[in-house]
Amino acid sequence: MQKVLQQLVELQELDTRLDELIEKLGDLPETVKTLEIQIDNEKEQNSIRKTSIEENDTLIRSNAAKTEDLTLKITKYKEQLFLVTTNREYDALTAEIEFNETAIKEAEDQVLQSEEENERLNKAHEDSEKNVEEMGKKLKEAKGSLAATQKETEKEKADLEKKREVSVKQVPRNFYSVYQRVRKARNGLAVVPLMRDACSGCHNRVIPQKRVDIYKKNQVITCDFCGRFLYAAEEKEEE
């Protein structure tokens, strides 16, 4: 059992150091990921805005041409008013003129609405482009810092990962399963020393019989409160 405990202690030391190397990266990986997502979202929104602007431009041209055509018709109808001989013909031409004037008003309103919408979209596009540029600079800096830190730690990390692979194979499967579960639940710390008769992980006192067993090293002992594996701190320090 002492061998199993020693293997667990060594595995914990490797994992602790690996965690320290990951922590050294800080929030850089998440920052890079977040900025990339934000930039992609901004670009997608700008693409949508560009499509809307083009559609509005088409609508503006269409309504401008429609207004010009209707204006010509109204001019023609007004000229015909001087040539009619009956009230029925006069009323019919007058109705056509009024109908086309209403259509012109609607077309002009659509043009105005489209122009106002494009003004808003162009402003949003301009602001978004500036935002993308700023985020691009931040992303470049974050990627540079991340790459530098990774390069600084990559050799040690690779060496530790190789050692961990060997260490994991040495730990019995049932103990490794518990180790992984406790480590996940206890912020990465599954093996801790007994200090001043207490678990140094949760600081709860360990009952006398368990303390004796820990020092005798004839079985693997876990904390009754947090589930961490316990070993004798004094002997570890001497080693």
Calpha distance 195→16 (Å, rounded): 19
Statement: residue 239 has pLDDT above 50: no
Reported as a single tens digit per residue, the pLDDT across 150-170 is 898 899 999 999 999 999 999
* Start-to-end C-alpha separation, the chain: 18
CA atoms within 13 A on the CB side of 59: 19
Residues in the chain: 239
Q: Which amino acid belongs to residue 17? A: R
pLDDT, position 237 = 39
Q: Helix, strand or coil for residue 209?
A: helix
Reported as a single tens digit per residue, the pLDDT across 76-122 is 999 999 888 899 999 999 999 999 999 999 999 999 999 999 999 99
DSSP 207: P
198-206: average pLDDT: 95
The average confidence (pLDDT) of the chain is 93
Reported as a single tens digit per residue, the pLDDT across 208-233 is 999 999 998 888 999 999 999 999 97
In CATH, what number does 26-153 get?
Answer: 1.10.287.620
- Would you say the C-alpha torsion 107, 111, 117, 118 has a positive or negative sign? positive
User: pTM of the predicted model, to two decimals?
Assistant: 0.62
Residue 195: exposure state from Cβ atoms within 10 A (0-12, 13-18, ≥19): middle
The ranges assigned to domains in the chain are: 26-153, 173-238
Q: Helix, strand or coil for residue 1?
A: coil
Statement: residue 139 has pLDDT above 60: yes
- Would you say the C-alpha torsion 8, 14, 20, 22 has a positive or negative sign? negative
Q: Helix, strand or coil for residue 192?
A: strand
pLDDT, position 234 = 62
